[in-house]
Structure 1
């Protein structure tokens, strides 16, 4: 049996040819578009890279730094207590005002002691009677009129009565609250007629001159400290104003949790500008002055390979206007200690090098530069907070 292949209809063949041509044109258009897009991007990037970047710069130079130990701490009073009472009682009279300066032993408050004084008088009378009886018995004993046992009983009774009188006198004295030391009082929290229980706070009393500041330093800095060494203290309440003091004590034990050592320093506070509880910044000069090549910290960029900076170098090619602009050259640097807004440079930059301090993000090796130093980043060794 013979199989006969039927010819493809002519209209169907034409449609297939037209479809193949359309697919070829579409593929060619896509390839051409991608090629044109890559060309335009490359052209744009090339034009951008050829545009000079505006940056600010600074000259690397040597500065003399005083090595310092820096710490934070807390100020406390040389003497400070919350005045309380040992005995219960009703307040009869308050003899101070909030914020008063008081002397040691000055009366602050009196409790009602009428009943206690009456009992004291009774004990004193009993003691006087016992004293008379003892004197009489002693006279009789001297003439052998009474035995020694009677005289001993009279002596014991006298001592007992006198002890009761002294005990009652101590209770009466406790009803008068006095300042334990000279200082400044806080806010009064009691009023006449109020009933106080033992331990109730009456007012805070703080001796404000001198003050102490407590702080901690790492154990590796312990060898740089000694009693009598000068310290400088600043508080947030007195920003920019430093107060001098002396180290008075260094703890003989290192904290095994933080590996730091507690240090105590004494501050003069004649004008009472400092108060107990204030947060304190501490700086201590340690060692001789040192010379460092410094830059603003804003001049450095950091990545996984270390710290880098851009140095301004003379350009080799003239621009369209005939001027030769400087270019950027990236270098790796080794940094040292920092102080405020400045950082010491140990390697990578020489004194006198012109270094880019702002605008580094748009730079690469060979980028032409326009230097505009109208605005400079902060470069203070001891920056102070600025209130706006």
Structure 2
């Protein structure tokens, strides 16, 4: 019995030992096989770093305003007798737009003019009698005062009459009428809006850190996301104080709008053009990889052989952005060849193969 148990234990040990030996043998063979394999180079696109002419600028968002724009209001109440414009009409300066019923004022003007005529006749008669020595000087003075009073009355009634006829203060495009013929209106009621669309203002704000870069007459470019509108203009106003709540400073620019594409109230993207800078290192934004450790770029280096290329992960300090490019302040030098796409499969020291069959970015600095 003991002999059989001993033989069984020996056989079990031989089986377990064989299994363990086979596992170690298999792992060693796999390691030897993998060590003999060379990974294929990773295909990437690349570009050479070159100094460019950089066009810096300040980006902001703004709102369009007409250079001249007002809400037209009723000066004197009454019934609307005539509306002499339609929506979106081109209006000339001093063109009559609205007529309020003025029959009462016309009657008052006729009475005032008649009273003036009588006063002037009495003044002439008193002056003649005084010259002949049969009239008192006080009578002449009294009649002259009556003439002056009558003339003032005529002027007052004429002013009331003119207030019934509403004219355009400047040329522009008028909006939708807000009153109807026969409607009773009160003083101060808005009856239309008038906008001069030939020149437009753009109001926007920039951070207080950019105050030093703001100058009167500085060039700006504005663009609308609707209709592809784009125009250039000049800064015409800089607020002399910073908003203590937002830490922004308000700026106003003026642009031309010959075709009337831009209308008041539109959202605009604004860029203030700053002086050009030469010799700036800028790379495509696709070349930059960001992580918790910082921003990095893969730089292509020569490998162990003449045909071999490897990459080195270089951490860089980034600066300003413009279009599809970003400024590199520290970490790269002119002449470095960098990876612009394919970084997701790379590690530092990996072998690469350059495939520039697809161009991802231009080499301008704008």
User: TM bucket by the smaller chain?
Assistant: 0.7 to 0.9
- In 1: Cα distance, 2:347 partner to 2:265 partner: 51
User: Partner of 1:76: helix, strand, or coil?
Assistant: strand
User: Partner of 1:351: helix, strand, or coil?
Assistant: coil
User: Partner of 1:349: helix, strand, or coil?
Assistant: coil
- In 2: Cα distance, 1:194 partner to 1:234 partner: 42
Please state how far the C-alpha of 1:49 moved relative to its aligned partner.
10
- Tell whether the 8 Å contact from 1:214 to 1:264 is kept in structure 2 after alignment: yes
**Cα 1:163–1:61 shift into 2, 3 Å:** same
Please state how far the C-alpha of 1:99 moved relative to its aligned partner.
1.7
Q: Tell me which residue corresponds to 1:251.
A: 239
User: Partner of 2:281: helix, strand, or coil?
Assistant: strand
**Cα 1:90–1:381 shift into 2, 3 Å:** farther
**Cα 1:278–1:129 shift into 2, 3 Å:** same
- In 2: Cα distance, 1:378 partner to 1:187 partner: 48
Residue 92 in structure 1 maps to residue 75 in structure 2: no
Unaligned runs of 5+ in 2: 1-15
How many residue pairs match? The answer is 344
Residue 357 in structure 1 maps to residue 346 in structure 2: no
- In 1: Cα distance, 2:310 partner to 2:72 partner: 72
**Cα 1:350–1:380 shift into 2, 3 Å:** closer
Per the normalisation by structure 2, the TM-score is: 0.79
Residue 63 in structure 1 maps to residue 52 in structure 2: yes
- 1:323-355 CA deviation, whole Å, 9 max, x = no partner? 965333211112232211111223322333332
- In 2: Cα distance, 1:289 partner to 1:368 partner: 36
Aligned-residue CA RMSD (Å) = 3.6
- 1:229-261 CA deviation, whole Å, 9 max, x = no partner? 33332222353x542223333333333334443
Q: Tell me which residue corresponds to 1:112.
A: 101
- Tell whether the 8 Å contact from 1:71 to 1:281 is kept in structure 2 after alignment: yes
- In 1: Cα distance, 2:270 partner to 2:180 partner: 41
- Tell whether the 8 Å contact from 1:188 to 1:203 is kept in structure 2 after alignment: yes
- In 2: Cα distance, 1:65 partner to 1:229 partner: 18
Q: 1:313 aligns with which of 287, 301, 306?
A: 301
Residue 198 in structure 1 maps to residue 157 in structure 2: no
- In 1: Cα distance, 2:208 partner to 2:348 partner: 44
- Tell whether the 8 Å contact from 1:67 to 1:290 is kept in structure 2 after alignment: no
Q: 2:69 aligns with which of 70, 80, 91?
A: 80
User: Partner of 2:203: helix, strand, or coil?
Assistant: strand
Q: Tell me which residue corresponds to 1:341.
A: 324
User: Partner of 2:112: helix, strand, or coil?
Assistant: helix
Residue 279 in structure 1 maps to residue 267 in structure 2: yes
- In 1: Cα distance, 2:189 partner to 2:110 partner: 29
- In 2: Cα distance, 1:185 partner to 1:310 partner: 60
- Tell whether the 8 Å contact from 1:65 to 1:289 is kept in structure 2 after alignment: yes
User: Partner of 1:373: helix, strand, or coil?
Assistant: coil
User: Partner of 1:57: helix, strand, or coil?
Assistant: strand
Residue 326 in structure 1 maps to residue 326 in structure 2: no
- Tell whether the 8 Å contact from 1:219 to 1:260 is kept in structure 2 after alignment: yes
Residue 298 in structure 1 maps to residue 281 in structure 2: no
- Tell whether the 8 Å contact from 1:341 to 1:381 is kept in structure 2 after alignment: no
